[in-house]
Amino acid sequence: MGVPARSSAPRRATGTRKRREPRSPVPPTEVSLCEATALEPESTLERQALYRVRLAGQDAATVTFRQCRFRGADLSECRLDQVVLTDCLVTDSSWANLRADGGELARVRLEQCRMTGVTVADGVLRDVTLAGCRVDLSAWRMTTFDAVWFEDCNLQGADFTNADLRGATFRSCDLTGAVFHHASMEGTRFRGCTLAGVGDFSSWRGAVVDHEDLISLSYGLAQAAGIRVEG
């Protein structure tokens, strides 16, 4: 019997999700230095230290990284569909234009990473922190966020169409021009963010926005309400 095709209809989750901080990655007891020059499909890397490895442009589906440490690693332009990262720490690395449709991240922390153009469609992020990362022009369509914090991130032009953001928190992020079309945002929190030019306010019902952030939203809200601002 074949696998049923995924529905292309927009998902709209309802209700709020309990807000909590992301759980930290469980540290490995020890790690071994990874010297891999290629990723094999359906392979597993466990307790590996990927320091300054160059894996750009790899095409390997269903790779699993468990309790791995990335530092200065280059995974830009990779195609890693159904990738799984569990208990991983990623610092000063490049995920630029990486594509990981159906990917799953659990207890993962990314710090000071370049993630411009990263694409994760129909994925799941649980207990994930992105701190000080460049995540502009990224795409997270139909992805579920559970206890996910974006801190001090550049998210200009990010696309959250049909995403379930009920467990997401954005702190001190630049979300200029971000798209939230048909997203589920009950309980999504924004604090100290730039929200100029964000689209589709019909999705914002139930979102929690700091009072100072409303200044960034004011012109967009006025335009959505048909109000003309002069002067």
Residue % of the chain over a pLDDT of 70: 86
Give the span between the Cα atoms of 150 and 141, in whole angstroms. 17
- The sign of the dihedral angle between the CA atoms of 197, 198, 199, 205 is negative
Rounded to an integer, the average pLDDT of 119-142 is 98
Compute the distance between CA of residue 69 and CA of residue 59 in angstroms, rounded to an integer: 21
Q: Which of 88, 95, 81 is nearest to 42 (CA)?
A: 81
Mean pLDDT, range 38-44, rounded to an integer: 96
pLDDT of residue 190: 95
Asked if residue 219 has pLDDT above 70, the reply is no
Query: pLDDT tens digits, residue range 167-177?
Result: 999 999 999 99
Is the pTM higher than 0.75? The answer reads: yes
CA distance linking residue 102 with residue 161, whole number of Å: 15
Indicate if the pLDDT at residue 130 is higher than 80.
yes
pLDDT exceeds cutoff 90 at 183 = yes
* Structure confidence at residue 1 (pLDDT): 42
User: What is the helix, strand, coil percentage profile of the chain, to 5?
Assistant: 5, 30, 60
When the pLDDT of each residue in the chain is averaged and rounded to a whole number, the result is 90
Phi first, then psi, for residue 76 (nearest 5°) are -65, 150
pLDDT score for 214 = 73
- Tens of pLDDT, residue by residue over 61-99, are 999 999 999 999 999 999 999 999 999 999 999 999 999
Residue 4 has pLDDT above 70, yes or no: no
pLDDT bin (cut points 50, 70, 90) of residue 208 is very high
> Is the predicted pLDDT of residue 198 greater than 70, yes or no?
yes
Average pLDDT over residues 121-125: 98
